[in-house]
Each structure stands twice: as structure tokens, then as C-alpha cells.
Amino acid sequence: MKTRILGKDLEVSAIGLGCMGMSHAYGPAADKKEMTELLLEAVDRGYTFFDTAESYGTSENPHDNEELLGKALKPYRDKIVLASKCGIRFDETSEEVNKPLITDSRPETIKASIDGSLKRLQTDHLDLYYIHRIDRKIPIEETAGVMKELIKAGKVTHWGISEADENTLRRAHAVCPVTAVQNRYSMMYRDYEALFPVLEELNIGFVAFSPLANGLLTAKYNKDSKFDAETDYRSAMPQFTEKAFEKNEELIRYLKEMADRKNAAPAQISLAWMLAKKPWIVPIPGTRKYGRLIENGEAADIELTDEEVKEMDRMLDIVPMSGVFGGSKVEE
């Protein structure tokens, strides 16, 4: 697979693998043997960028995902880039399927978290370590200072912020250079395009999570699709309601037409569009399926012309769209 550079020098596969869904938010945690085989197939297919977090798990095992990756990827550790995150936990008192987030970026919490993640991931360092959400109770300069300490100690080589805004990013970067932001980005959620000039200026990479709008842009779902109300966030997402499918018909039809023109799948067009935007954007779609893993990875080989990208942007500016999931509520 082709590669890209995040920040100054972090080389990753052009398409990364978001691993959250193997353990969290998309139904009960998947079978460990099947997911291990999927992860090994990803390595064979040229994926080098694997994304997890200490909070990706279940109520019974909050760290399920890191444990899965640690065991499966240990033999390939010197060939891959491992990214994880700290700074949040879920409010387990909530009865919602999409439980609110509680932030905690105190220095002592971050230091305890990195040690726990290193142990579960069976490694002595992380290639990229994010603050999972900005903790408004802790100055971002303090957080950046802790990351600087971890880098000096060799426990982390690069750091980033998930769901970062310009002000926070500039303040953090001034203390310890940020390698990447990981923000929501897809054809249906383009808010952070406003951040692109800042990222260009500061030489910070953009890691796009939910690049397929939680799977809607694969064009594989319809109004009859069902999701488990207790374990699957999609059961509560606005883009998966019956009315939303009706509203998104034109968008999906356009995607399919563009895919036919390029001899590709709709999901590949969505990812290729993103890759064509900037050379420092790296999407990290997640999957539990072998076929989707291959399809997503091959999106890196699809070439879109500047005019095709502009045409798609013009379409996205005017085509009707439903609301789209914007993330879990953060408790202040």
C-alpha cells in the first residue's frame, strides 16, 4: 500500500485500520480468533497504521481492544505504527447505548494510562498517543507538557489530539509539536475542513475517523437495516433512520454513479475523495469483515483528478443530506 507522512516524520499506510468496532460500539465484542485473523490479513495487505484506545471495550472489559491488538500484532511490532488514546472513560451509570464521556487529562491519569496501554499492547513505546478528548478542566499546555515528558522518556514517539480545534491546537503545539489531529471527517461531516489551513501551516497530519459516516457511505444499508439497541451505536444514529435513508437517496445515487465511472465501490470513492484533498490526510475506516478490509485498502490506488474532486465538492454543497452522528456527549 502507498504511504503518507503525518507531521514531520511519522510514515503510515495511506489507509489505516480503525480497530474500535472490533470491541466497541458496533454490537457485542467480536470473536477474538476472527479479529486476530483479520488483523494479520491487514498486515499482509500493507496496512501499517493501527488505531485503538484504552477505552475501546465493554463494561465487563473496558480494555478489550488494546488487549486484542497487543496479542495479535506483537510479532509485527517493528513493521507497524501503533496509535492509542487516553483521557476519557464512559459514564457507566447511563442507560443510553451511546454513553456520555467523562474527560480526565490530569497528569497522573495520563502517566498511569500510558503504562497500562503499553502493557496491554505488549510494547515498550507507542508511535502515536492521543488525548482522546480535550479536558476543559486542564490547561492544554499542561497536557502537552506531560506528552513532552513521555516522549523524552521514550514511552511515546509522537502525540496528537482527537477532536481538536484551532485554539487548542496552537497552544498545544507551542509546548510540544503535535504530529496529528484525529477528527471526524466524511462526505457528510466536513466541519473540520476549516482547520486545514492551520494544519498546513503547522505541518500537522489529519487522521480522519468515521470516514464512511459510520458505514452509511458504503451504500450497503437501507431502511430495513437493523441494529442492536443495547450495544450498537447505529441504532441511535440520525443517518440510519427511515427518513434519513429517504433524504440521502440522491447522495447515495451520486456515489454509486461515480463508483461505476471509476470501476470502484462507493466506499472507495469516499476514501479516494478524502485522500485527494490533501497529502497529509489519512482515513482510518474500521471493519470486522475481510472483504471490506480489502476494499478499503485498495481505495488508496484510486486516482481522482482535481476536477473530479471539485465536482464532488460542488455536489456535496447542494445535495440533500440527513443529520449525521456527531459523537458522544462529553460531560463537563
Cell output for 313: 465538492
Q: Which residue type does 166 have? A: E
Please say whether the dihedral angle defined by the alpha carbons of residues 256, 261, 262 and 263, taken in this order, is positive or negative: positive
d(CA 199, CA 192) in angstroms, rounded, equals 11
**Element holding 250 (H helix, E strand):** helix 249-261
**Are 153 and 168 in contact, with CB atoms under 8 Å apart?**
no
Return the SS3 of 206. Answer: strand
Active site residues: 56
Cα→Cα distances 48→43, 164, 247, 317, Å: 6, 24, 37, 34
d(CA 23, CA 26) in angstroms, rounded, equals 8
d(CA 78, CA 81) in angstroms, rounded, equals 8
Exposed, middle or buried by CB within 10 Å (0-12, 13-18, 19+), for 106? Answer: middle
Torsion of CA 27, 29, 34, 35, to 10 degrees: 100
**Are 205 and 177 in contact, with CB atoms under 8 Å apart?**
no
In sequence order, what DSSP letters do the residues of 269-294 get, joined into one string?
A: HHHHHHHHH-TTEEE--B-S-HHHHH
d(CA 154, CA 38) in angstroms, rounded, equals 30
